[in-house]
Structures are given as structure tokens and as C-alpha cells.
Chain A
Amino acid sequence: MQLFFQHLINALQWGSFYALIALGYSMVYGILMLFNFAHGDIFMVGAYIGFGVATALAALAALSALALPNWVILVLTILIAMYLTSFVGMLVERIGYRPLREAPRASAAITGLMIGIILETGNLAILGAQRIRFPSLIKTQVYDIGGVVVTNKKIMIVVVSLVLMLALNEFIKRTRWGMAMRAMAFDYVVIPLMGVPLNTIASLTFALGSALAAAAGILFAVAYPVLDPYIGITYGWKAFVAAILGGRGSVKGACLAGFLLGFIEIFVGAYLSSSLRDLIAYSIILLILVFRPHGFFGEPHSAKLRL
């Protein structure tokens, strides 16, 4: 039983990354009906920006120019990196997708792949191929609760992820911007005729998705502090699976499916076979999609996709 709870805790942490990244895929699809295939790499860029901010702040603190405790540095890192990465997202939208808005969807998808490759190789060119160690800002505390081992980092990761998801939900439900996004998701051809600016909403969507991806990137780097330019591919694609599984365009679905994906991966690895983990895990997901082709919360008609 202890073992089961231990795996459950591991899965909660692992699922929160997928959920946060899947949100970005899902929102963009919900509003613009396109898959932003560069999203995984925005997650990677977010982690690297976080590394830059954290290193700079830690250096300032060490010089006692700005005496900050480490947890404040971490909070600031997350906020600043989210802010900066949202501009990367908006830039990707402006350069890569806006000129192609009337083009076939396949063109936009290919643009996304290319932007992703540019971000990866650009990073390789600027920072070189060496792995980077993310500074350990908070000291790991290990708590043993009745045989189940939890660290302060794990708790922080899960809590911060849940807070961000709830915040996004509230933003979409309660603000005027959120209302505009929901309207746009309903029909992005007619709604602009009623005075809602499509370009602004598109930028906003990319900004929000990228900010969440940046938060995921930093939390990922806290848990797995070895960064390389290709982390975006592996986890980005898996999160994309979560977005599909949740139902394209559904925020609630993306969160749930992200966690579900984490659970399936961890439990398959733990109880069936760690070497066949992905094979079995993704076969299960394929099976779910056979019976629910639109995912958990997706709707059959694409015109009615809602946030």
C-alpha cells in the first residue's frame, strides 16, 4: 500500500508537467484551430530563460547587491521567465502563424515544426552542446510520512501547477479577455465582425500558453536539473498526446489528461515493465481514443470547440 502511494505521488509530479504543457496546445487549437507544434520547444526555451534569470538573480544575491532568500529568487524566476517567454510565444505567432492564417492547416503545422527546429538549433548555436545544470535554489527536504517519501520540491511543483491551472480557468471564465477568448473559440470568422480583435486575442492565447509552458519548464528544471536543447521534443510530443486525449480545445480536459498520462506512464513502469513503458502506456491511450475519438471533453463538430 505504501508502495502504491509512493507511485501515486511520483505520478502527480510527473503529470503536472504534461498538464501544464498540454494546456498551451489545447488553447491555441481551441481558438485558432491549429496545432502549435513549436510549443514543446517553447517549454524548452522557458526552462533556459528560467536558468538565465535564476543564475543572474543568484549572482546578484551572492554579490549582496540584492540580498534575496533563495525561495524568493525561485518565485521571481518563475514570474520573470513566464513574462519573458510569453513574448517568445507572441513572436512565434506573429512571424510563424499570422501570415499563414488563411493558408491550409498543413502549412501552419509545418511552420510550427520548423520554428521548433530553429529554436533547438539556435539554442545549440548560442549555448553550445554542453548540458546545463539548473541552480538548486531550494534545499531539498525529504519527509518520510509512514513509509511514503515526499520532498518539499515535489509538493511545491504540484501546488504551483494546480494554482496556475486554477488561475487560468478563472481568467477564462471571469474576465472580459477570457470571454473574448471563449467567443473566438466559438467562431473565429464571425466574432471579429462584432468588434473583437482577432490578432490581439491570438497573441494573448499564445502568450498565456507560453507562460504556462515556461512555468512547466522551470518546475521541470527544479525536479530534473539537467537541461539540454532537446527536452522540448520528447515531453512536448507527449503533452500533445495529452491535449488530444483531453479533447481538443478543452482546458479541463488538458489538465485531466495530462495527469492521467503521468499516472499511466508511472504505473505501467512500476507494475508492468519499465522497458516497455512507453509502448504499453501509449497503446492504452490509443485504445481510449478508439472509444472516445474526440477525447474526454472534445466535441464532435470542430465549429463548436469551446474553451
Chain B
Amino acid sequence: MRKGLLLVVAILVVGLALSPCAWAKSKTIKVGINAPITGDIPKVGEGSKYAAEMWLEDIKAAGGLQVGGEKYMVEIIVEDNESKPESAAKAATKLITEDEVLAIVGPQASSQAIPAGEMANNYGTPMISPWSTNPDTTKDRPFVFRGCFLDPFQGPVVANFIKDEFGFKKAAVLYDIASDYPKGLAEVFKEAWENINGPGSVVAFESFTTKDADFSSQLTNIISSGAQFLFTPQYYNEVALIVQQAQELGFKGPIVGSDSWGSAETVKLCGEACYGLFFSTHYAAAGATGATKEFIERYEKKYGYTPDDVGALTWDALRLVQKAIEDTGKLTGNLKNDRVAVKDALAKIKEFDGITGKMTFTPEGDPIKCAVVVRISEKGEFEFYKSACP
């Protein structure tokens, strides 16, 4: 028994000694991507991975990353968080402790970014979540940043848009109570709507739990409440089911969404039922100009479809990381100190011109940037409709 154990230990030690990653830490910068490659929102993970691949291509074409007169090779390590909170925390820990990355980009969804941010902050590793809009992700965490606007901004944007566009008075909300992003945004929206239309103007505030497929009891209640429209800040797989079931139960009003709708999958899964609906998001691919257009065309050519907002935001987040690493001026090779230096450099960035718009940063590490309202056209494309700036 003991001999067997000894043999196993010996093999492990030899394996560790031979593995190249244990020794080649000097001239390579490792950046971790914590993304939902499988699980509920795999399209989001795919977009993150593709954007990272394109960024790496650029770095390689430039011969590496220039930091203080020295060229560093860059390696990207993609870790799957299965779009589960606990796996996201695990993936972050693995990237930090085993893969020894300098910084992490991701996770995307708030339910994963909040626990992963906790890990990154505890281990003193800079992390940027490109897509997480829930305030808790960066709150009191000096090492955690984000690349997008926050829900306290997005909620009022949607509420104001509906008021201006339709002049409605009675709202219904349907959201997933077990997921941080929809829950947070639903509450923010309710508050914003009641600020405009007075208390009691949200006539139905219904919830469900992740993985539910049948929303008939909630939707029946929503319809009987006399709501004029439905706000549902859900991910694309649920959007398809909610929209279809609402229409089948005879709901006639518009259904409005948030930035989680902004995936190519929304239209693929939902089909014609979603045409003509509105949602708020980070950027509109149709009608983009400049660097944004360049990015979209390159992505389309390489992967065969228009990048989602997640792809564009991940690109911006990686560029922010790149800028921060370059701004440090010098990497010491001591991972702990370098991570702190990158964090400090990130916190010092005051203004950044990204492909999802110009942004300035608050002391919390949150950007201030514009939101857009997008309409799903009769061809199933995301059309720019309106923009709203803080």
C-alpha cells in the first residue's frame, strides 16, 4: 500500500518537473479567460473565446507585448465555468493559483462574475468582467473592474424609453429569482418605473427559477393584471420560451428586454415571434462605424456571424488589460507584485476609447458610457433605434 502511494507521488513529482508550464514563467504573460463555454449560455462563452483569439492574433502580429522596452509573448488560457456560480469561482481559483495568470477577463454573467470576483480580489489578481452589469461585482473589490455600464443605469434607460415611446402606465416584470443579473435588474427597473409612474404602476412582478420551461401560470397572471407591456431581463434561451408562451396565451403588448438579449441566438431560438421587439444593450452592430465596424467585419469574416455585444465588450476588456500591462512600465517577474502593478495601472486609466463607445471610469472601477436601444428588425437583425447617455 505504502509502496503504491510512494510510486504515485514519484510519478507526480516527475510529471511536474517535466511539465513545461512549471518552468517557463519568465518571458510569457498569461491572461485567463473565465467564460461559459458549456452550460446555459454557451454562445456567450463562444463570443468571449473568439474575441480573445482575435486579440491574441493582433499581439502575435506585433511580435508580442511591449512592456518597458521588453517584448513578452502572450498566452491565453480559457477556462470553462459551465455558467454556474460555483464553477466560476473554481475556474478563477485555478487560473490564479495553477495557471498563474497575470490578469483575468470574465466571467460574463453577473451570477458568475460576483463569486469569481470574490476569489480574484482575495487572491489579489486583477479581473475585468466585460459584461456583468450587477453593482455587486465590483463593489468594495479594488482588484475587480468591468467593461460595461451598470444596472442602476440600465434600468432607468429602459423605463424612460418605454415611457417616451409608448406612453404606457402599467408594467409587468417576469424574471429569474435565482440568478443575480435578472433579479438585480428587475428590482432596479421596478424602482425606476415607479419613480416615473407612481407606486403600484408595476402591476405584476412575477418570478421563476433557473431551468424552468413553463411560465404559463406567471404569464396568465400577468395578462389578467392588465399590464400594457412586459419587461423580462432574461438570457436568450429563456427569452424564446417566454415570448412564445406570452403570445400563445394572448398577450398583445410589447415585450421589452435588456442587454442579455443581445445574442445572435435570441433570434435563432425565438424566430419571428421576437421580430419588432426592443431591448437595451451596449452596442448595435448594424450601422457601426470606425474601429467598431472594422472589428465587426473582421469577426464576421473569421467566424461567419455578427459578433454579439459580449464579443465586442470582451475585446474592449482585453484592450484595457493590454493598456494596463503596458502602462506598468516594467514587469518584475514576481507575479504578486506584477498583479498589483497591473491593478494600479487599470485603476489609473481615466478615459478609454473602446469599440463599444468612449468610457470614463469611476473610482469604483466602473465605466460611465452610453447605452443603446435596439429593435429586432423584420429580418431578425439588431437595428440601432436610440441611444441614451448618462
Contact = CB atoms under 8 A, between A and B. Distances in A.
Given A128-B42, A130-B265, A140 B240 contact: no
A269 B265 contact: no
Interface string A128-139: 111101001000
A158 to B, nearest CB: 13
Interface of B: 37-40, 42-43, 45, 177, 206-209, 211, 213-214, 216-218, 220-221, 224, 236-237, 240-241, 244, 247-250, 265, 268-269, 271
Contacts of A230: 211
Contacts, number: 92
A149 B248 contact: yes
A167 interface: no
B310 to A, nearest CB: 15
Contacts of A14: 214, 216
A136 B271 contact: yes
Interface residues of A, number: 38
A10 B221 CA distance: 12
A231 B40 CA distance: 11
A59 to B, nearest CB: 17
Nearest to B219: A10
B217 A3 contact: no
B237 A228 contact: yes
A222 B138 CA distance: 42
Interface string A68-94: 000000000000000000000000000
A153 B220 contact: no
A3 B43 contact: no
Contact of B42 (A10, A129, A267): A129
Contact of A151 (B211, B241, B248, B265): B248
B272 to A, nearest CB: 9
Contacts of A275: 177, 207-209
B271 A133 contact: yes
A266 interface: yes
Contact of B213 (A128, A154, A231): A231
Contacts of A13: 216
A14 B224 CA distance: 20
A71 to B, nearest CB: 18
Nearest to B174: A274
Contact of A142 (B37, B236, B250, B268): B250
Contact of B248 (A130, A142, A267, A278): A142
A155 to B, nearest CB: 12
Contact of A6 (B37, B43, B220): B220
Nearest to A278: B209
A269 B250 CA distance: 19
Given A224-B241, A231-B213, 10 more contacts: A7-B220, A124-B38, A140-B247, A142-B250, A153-B248, A234-B211, A270-B217, A270-B220, A274-B221, A277-B208
A130 B216 CA distance: 25
Contacts of A7: 216-217, 220
B213 A274 contact: no
A100 interface: no
Contacts of A102: none
A19 B330 CA distance: 66
The 7 closest A-B pairs by CB, nearest first: A129-B42, A10-B216, A269-B217, A270-B217, A149-B250, A129-B38, A224-B213
B180 to A, nearest CB: 15
A226 interface: yes
A10 B240 CA distance: 18
Contacts of B42: 128-131
Interface string A110-152: 0000000000000010001111010010001010100001010
B208 A226 contact: no
Contact of A129 (B39, B217, B236): B39
B95 to A, nearest CB: 20
A3 B221 CA distance: 8
Nearest to B244: A225
A226 B237 contact: yes
A144 B250 contact: yes
B248 A274 contact: no
Interface string A211-230: 00000000010011110101
Contacts of A226: 213, 237, 240-241, 269
A3 B237 CA distance: 28
Nearest to A14: B214
A120 to B, nearest CB: 11
Contacts of A234: 211
A3 B220 contact: yes
A109 B221 CA distance: 40
B248 A140 contact: yes
Contacts of B209: 275, 277-278
B220 A224 contact: no
A154 B214 CA distance: 13
Among A220, A228, A269, find the residue whose CB has the most chain B CB atoms closer than 10 A. Answer: A269
A240 to B, nearest CB: 16
A243 to B, nearest CB: 20
A6 B248 CA distance: 12
A221 to B, nearest CB: 10
A151 B216 CA distance: 13
A234 B212 CA distance: 9
A10 B209 CA distance: 18
A267 B221 CA distance: 11
Contacts of B224: 3, 6
Contacts of B236: 131
Contact of B37 (A129, A136, A140, A149): A129
Interface in A222-277: 223-226, 228, 230-231, 234, 265-267, 269-270, 274-275, 277
A7 B222 CA distance: 12
Nearest to A269: B217
A274 B240 contact: no
8 contacts: A7-B220, A130-B42, A144-B250, A224-B241, A270-B220, A270-B221, A275-B207, A277-B209
